[in-house]
Amino acid sequence: MTEIRGIIPPIITPMNEDETVNEKELANQVERLIQAGVHGIFAFGTNGEGYALDETEKEQVLSTVIRTAAGRVPVYAGTGCITTKETIRMSRMAERVGADMLSIITPSFAAASQEELYCHYKAVAEAVHLPIVLYNIPARTGNALAPSTVARLAEIDNIAGAKDSSENFDNMLQYIEKTRGKNFNILSGNDSLILWNLMAGGTGGIAGCANVFPENMVDIYEKFISGDLEGARKAQDAIRPFRNTFQYGNPNTVVKTAVALLGYPVGRCRSPFNQLPQKGIDAIRGVLEECRKEGMR
């Protein structure tokens, strides 16, 4: 089974002016991230605008990422949908195309009980052979995976980990505590908590900020693993000024705007989720300039 560890960027999906996928720049971003030392690439996650891509576009994005990565790092595919049937179809597509791992977000809009969530993930796991990372982000989906449910799902062979984006550190701690001793990995979905995840026994993070500062984000993990806790803490603290710019709009839009301001032709997020006030753009530009002076890459 592919190791679930390190810094895995939920890669942005570059788009042309007409909002079609810019495959050439997507391949360039994959190469850029791999050269920076990332430990995996996550296609069409939240930062990759998976919520705004249709099924054909998702296959296009995934195929481009897999082809460019060429086995150098594992490729994760975000295949979660609202229904179990739809999630199975998307997961089988990702398996057929050649993904190494599935990241499956909880169903959204309709409220789901913990038993319904358990049955949903169990059915998907039985329908595919790839390892699955559960994805908990209740602020976006309206459905939270309870620690007790994660513990039950961890007993299923190919459910191999969970990403927690609940913004609740105790929730992530309980994921770690309730699955300790099992072959199960907990990733932080909050970039500010990656070091604390590692210190608590987690294995890394799916880090949106790695689209902007891939080398710095990799340093959090690599320095921690090498025993340089102070270096890891410095790399973790360094992203705070950039994360403070999230106040100006959707974090996905902030991240993609920052990558564009670095000089990459990634385009805008798909409408309507693509607007930032000018003061926000100016703030991002200012933070990027300060970070460059500090040597952040």
**Residue positions in the annotated binding site for pyruvate?**
206
Unique residue bearing structure tokens 């100006």: 248
- Sequence ranges of the binding site: 206
Count CA within 13 A, CB hemisphere, residue 144. 12
Which of 78, 49, 54 has its CA nearest to residue 250? 49
If one counts every other C-beta atom within 10 angstroms of the C-beta of residue 51, the result is: 15
β-pairing, 132-136 with 159-164?
A: parallel
Q: Select which of 118, 135, 175, 248 is catalytic.
A: 135
> How many angstroms separate the CA atoms of 223 and 63, rounded?
32
135 in active site:
yes
Active-site entry in 76, 118, 121, 163: 163
Burial of 6 per CB tally in 10 Å (0-12, 13-18, 19+)? buried
For 59, the token pair is: 């296959």
Q: What amino acid positions are annotated as catalytic residues?
A: 135, 163
